[in-house]
Structure 1
Amino acid sequence: MSDLSAYRDYRESSIPWIATIPAHWEDVRARFVARLETGHTPDRDESSYWDGDIPWFSLSDMSRVRESGSRYVSETNEYITKKGLNNASTRLVPSGTVILSRTATIGFTCILKVEAATDQSMVNWVCGDELIPEFLYYVFESMGEEFDRLAEGSTHKSIYMPDVRSIKIPLPPVEEQSKIVKFLNNQLDIISTLLNKFDKIREAAERKKNSIVSGAVTHGLGNSNTTDSGVGWIGQVNSDWDVISTKFVAQLESGHTPDRSKDEYWENTNIPWLTTSDIKKFRGNKKRYLHETENQISELGMENSGAHLLPEGTVFLSRTASVGFSGIMGKPMATSQDFANWVCGDEIIPEYLLYVFRSMEQEFERLMQGSTHQTIYMPDIKSFKTPLPPVEEQREIVEHVETETERLWELIDRVDETIDLLEEKRQALITAAVTGQIDVSEEKGVIQGDD
């Protein structure tokens, strides 16, 4: 990017998140150049308000738009009737309105391509003659840290309306806004193309990794004869192996939470206590062993609850909230009731059982129950079955899986680093452009795409 000092003069900005802007730009409250509208949710108990033909934009739509990577939205998950519109504190806003979420997914933004109403979690900006919607969209995209600063609330954070009304933005002349939008559309499309390429590389590596694990724990290494296992997730299995109930080769244990109202149970804590807060380390199935937990309990608390100390090498499986994540205890520890824990016997080694569980993702999805908090219940866990090769063959399988997947993890890590750099580049480019740090009339080829 070029240094703009060669092109224009700068002045100090009154906008909190911008130090300087080009001298010929204005810094204004957004509501002075865009009409600010809010939304509302019609009464859910009144059926005549719903299933109409008026698009109604809500948080679920914002999440969907963000996942798609689009700047625009033309369809919504729900539609309301004219009666619903007239009996709620919401109004239709026109195509071209810039929507900004102010609760939950704070700071997410998009542009309507149709006339629509919104829920109360959105603030809607109907741009006047001095402001191009796409330019305002990019300004909001650059304001992530500012929105974080404005957000208030301990449980459910929101940006309150007085702060929304006070939002200031940089305002170049309309002709310059148009050039900035054109420049960013071009450059960000190139970045999106690159991101898509790397996402596909990552997905291919993930598929290969999962194939190595599932193939090894069902078929073994090399060519082998197979037979129908009679178990859905296993399918064909090495005909020389047994398929056995997991509880016959590993002792199943659950966990518990000591009474929170008993202060003495939570004093002098020294026992590692595995909870769902530890599971984030095992997302992606790269980490295998857990040596330290975020929480501890006391011996008194453990003695007065259903929790008990499990030995090093116990394989744990999360069965509620973050369902289906697994690992191996690197030291003795207890767990909450959110885990099914397997103490391996002489016929199965922990690392092999871990890879069996990591091949069962689709089976876990099938077994999950519950609408709000999904869970795999203990009767289903007790019915788990596992392919069982001889112990020595299990060790060979584990060694093979670790060797082969390590190469793929190295590729995935490199791809993730590249994706992070591209995302940082994208954010920096937007911020530089909407604050006047790039002369878009001179700047060419900031990012080069692959041929």
Structure 2
Amino acid sequence: MKNGWESKELKAVSAINYGYTESASADPIGPRFLRITDIQNDNVEWKNVPYCNIAKDDLPKYRLKAGDIVFARTGATTGKSFLVSDPPKEAVFASYLIRLRLLDKDLSPEFVSLFFQTAEYWRAIKEGSSGSAQGGFNASKLGALSIPFPPIPEQRRIVGILDEAFAGIATAKANAEKNLQNARALFESHLNAVFTQRGDGELPTGERSAKLRPTDAAKDEKRVTRTGGRDATTRHIAPELALAVGMPVTRPSRNWNWTALTDLARLESGHTPSRRHPEYWNGQIPWIGIKDAKVNHGRHIVDTEQKTNDLGLANSSARLLPKNTVCLSRTASVGYVVVMGKPMATSQDFVNWVCSNRLVPDFLKYVFLAEGREGFFRYSSGAVHQTIYYPEAKAFHIAHPDIAEQQRIVLECDELRAKSQRLESIYRRKLAALDELKKSLLFQAFSGQL
């Protein structure tokens, strides 16, 4: 420790107390009632903080004042702290918070609050968390933490330096995050422009009827759906881009056509071999689950977390599907899209499309990506978990051009996506570097090197 610095346990320099237990109310029945959820981005909007009922005799014990530091003691935000600087005249703190109030005049609240952002502090939180599955940190453990500190003038100097540096870092992060969002929006905007199908009026009734009749491709045994179950729904969900349920009544734009997806690709389901038979697992056949689709969303997938084998396929409804099959997650995590980079099987959480020579697999991938994960909720239903059911999937129609134009669009989208991802990578690295800079400055500050 640097000469002139001291180190003391927090319990020796402060009073540490748990918060008040009561229900929050939107009605002004008492003081403001600060909860964990009211602390967002190191800020509290006091006008949005609810109220609580509290006995007059209890109010002084739980009243907040400037210079208090409160901590989340449980849940996902365990350890998060907030320096109270300008509270309302009457405000108390809730029971899932711990309040630290400095008693030692040789310590600045601003300096101490910076200590609660250091890597050393967060290591202590991680090591000391206990209790439920969500973890927790109690007042005794907080009080046992030691804080190094210099004389008050040096504390104020350090606080001034860090406040100025952190303000600059916050501005730089805000700019990098905006640029990151713009990089993502660049590709999303391009997809939207490519797949918007506003057209120029309605299809004639006769043309609609012709398009609703099965095509030669649909009659081909290789093209028909192999999922079994109910037939395609007869209901219609109008397109916002290039995907619809049922034949749209409007013309597609340019020289595109609306076609039933089952006329262009064979719909396949997936399945999970029994977990009660370990001999069905740990083989050589990649098996796509939701986790795999999440990690590989929008890309070609070449490996999976779990693998089955021939025995697993033989004793389940899972199927080995060919390379370039397009997989769309349809259950609780709706809207993840991957393309098989080799023959694989999938769980029942996917609808899988084996494309004919009239449909480029990556074109279909981009049709799905253009919808966005939230866009697929238009085609899903369910009281608890949203699911795209097979009658809707069987009734999918897509707008598409000829095969040469599909290939051109795929190439264009691939190039723009690669550019967008390069930009995203640059801005993520900038954000990571700014976080590391903040950690470095805090380390220097509390080791006497600043």
Q: Decide: shared fold, TM above 0.5.
A: yes
Partner Cα distance (1:372, 1:96) in 2: 45
Q: In structure 2, the residue corresponding to 1:28 is in which secondary structure?
A: strand
Distance 1:271-1:84 versus aligned 2 partners, 3 A rule: farther
CA-CA distance at 1:121 after TM superposition: 4.0
Q: In structure 2, the residue corresponding to 1:360 is in which secondary structure?
A: helix
Q: In structure 1, the residue corresponding to 2:142 is in which secondary structure?
A: helix
Distance 1:195-1:256 versus aligned 2 partners, 3 A rule: same
TM-score (norm 2): 0.77
The match for 1:207 is 185
Aligned 1:79-118 pairs, distance under 5 A: 79-82=50-53, 91-103=62-74, 104-112=76-84, 113-114=86-87, 116-118=91-93
Distance 1:140-1:358 versus aligned 2 partners, 3 A rule: same
Partner Cα distance (1:251, 1:85) in 2: 72
Distance 1:187-1:239 versus aligned 2 partners, 3 A rule: same
Any stretches of 5+ residues in structure 2 without a counterpart?
203-237, 243-249
CA-CA distance at 1:417 after TM superposition: 1.5
Distance 1:173-1:381 versus aligned 2 partners, 3 A rule: farther
Q: 1:252 aligns with which of 264, 267, 274?
A: 267
Q: 2:152 aligns with which of 171, 174, 184?
A: 174
* Amino acid in the other structure paired with 2:38: D
Q: In structure 2, the residue corresponding to 1:138 is in which secondary structure?
A: helix
Alignment check: 8 A CA contact 1:252 1:340 kept: yes
The match for 1:190 is 168
* Amino acid in the other structure paired with 1:275: G
The match for 1:6 is none
The match for 1:61 is 38
CA-CA distance at 1:73 after TM superposition: 1.7
Q: 1:125 aligns with which of 97, 100, 104?
A: 100
* Amino acid in the other structure paired with 1:417: R
* Amino acid in the other structure paired with 2:113: Y
Q: In structure 2, the residue corresponding to 1:169 is in which secondary structure?
A: strand
Q: In structure 1, the residue corresponding to 2:273 is in which secondary structure?
A: coil
Aligned residue pairs: how many? 397
Greater shift after overlay, 334-343 or 144-153? Answer: 144-153
Distance 1:210-1:305 versus aligned 2 partners, 3 A rule: same
* Amino acid in the other structure paired with 2:14: A
CA-CA distance at 1:85 after TM superposition: 11
The match for 1:242 is 257
The match for 1:274 is 288
The match for 1:421 is 433
Cα deviations by residue, 1:33-60 (Å, 9 ceiling, x for unpaired): 23212236546xxxxx532344444443
Q: 1:412 aligns with which of 424, 432, 438?
A: 424
The match for 1:31 is 11
The match for 1:51 is 26
Q: Which runs of 4+ in 1 moved over 6 A?
A: 84-88
Partner Cα distance (1:374, 1:137) in 2: 43
Aligned 1:285-300 pairs, distance under 5 A: 285=298, 288-300=299-311
Q: In structure 2, the residue corresponding to 1:341 is in which secondary structure?
A: strand
Distance 1:280-1:180 versus aligned 2 partners, 3 A rule: farther
CA-CA distance at 1:131 after TM superposition: 3.1
Cα deviations by residue, 1:338-391 (Å, 9 ceiling, x for unpaired): 323222223211101111111101412545666875544545444443221111
* Amino acid in the other structure paired with 1:387: A
Partner Cα distance (1:186, 1:201) in 2: 23
Partner Cα distance (1:410, 1:186) in 2: 31
RMSD: 3.3
CA-CA distance at 1:403 after TM superposition: 1.9
Alignment check: 8 A CA contact 1:138 1:434 kept: no
* Amino acid in the other structure paired with 2:445: A
CA-CA distance at 1:206 after TM superposition: 1.6
Distance 1:40-1:406 versus aligned 2 partners, 3 A rule: same
Partner Cα distance (2:317, 2:160) in 1: 63
Partner Cα distance (1:237, 1:42) in 2: 59
Alignment check: 8 A CA contact 1:349 1:391 kept: yes
Matched, 1:136 2:112: yes
